[in-house]
C-alpha cells in the first residue's frame, strides 16, 4: 500500500510517480521519466477544457419521510 496526496500528484506528477516506483522497488529510468514528461506536455489538464465542482447549498438537515417505496 502507498499513500499519496492528490495535491502532490497534481503539483509534481513525475516526482510522485518516482516515489511510487521506489516504494514498489520498480526501476524509474530516465527513459520512463522522459516519457512521462512528454505525455504530460502532450496532455495538459486543460486539454479538454476545465471542470470545477461547485458547492451547493443542500439542506442536509431535512427530515425525510418514507411514503411506500418513495422518499418525499
* Residue 49 banded pLDDT, cuts 50, 70, 90: confident
Write out the three cell numbers for 49: 477544457
DSSP letters of the chain? -----HHHHHH-HHHHHHHHHHHTT----HHHHHHHHHHHHHS-TTBTB----------TTPPP-EETTEE-
pLDDT of residue 72: 47
- Average pLDDT across the chain, whole number: 81
Find all residues with CB under 8 Å of 7, minimum gap 6, and list them.
Answer: none
What integer pLDDT is reported at residue 4 of this predicted model? 93
Residue 62 is predicted with a pLDDT of 52
Q: Look at residue 26 and tell me whether its pLDDT is greater than 90.
A: yes
Is the pLDDT at 60 greater than 80, yes or no?
no
Amino acid at each position: 500500500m502507498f499513500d499519496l496526496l492528490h495535491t502532490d500528484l497534481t503539483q509534481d506528477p513525475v516526482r510522485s510517480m518516482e516515489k511510487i516506483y521506489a516504494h514498489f522497488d520498480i526501476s524509474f529510468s530516465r527513459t520512463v521519466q522522459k516519457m512521462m514528461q512528454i505525455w504530460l506536455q502532450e496532455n495538459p489538464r486543460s486539454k479538454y477544457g476545465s471542470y470545477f465542482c461547485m458547492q451547493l447549498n443542500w439542506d442536509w438537515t431535512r427530515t425525510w419521510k418514507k411514503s411506500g417505496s418513495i422518499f418525499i
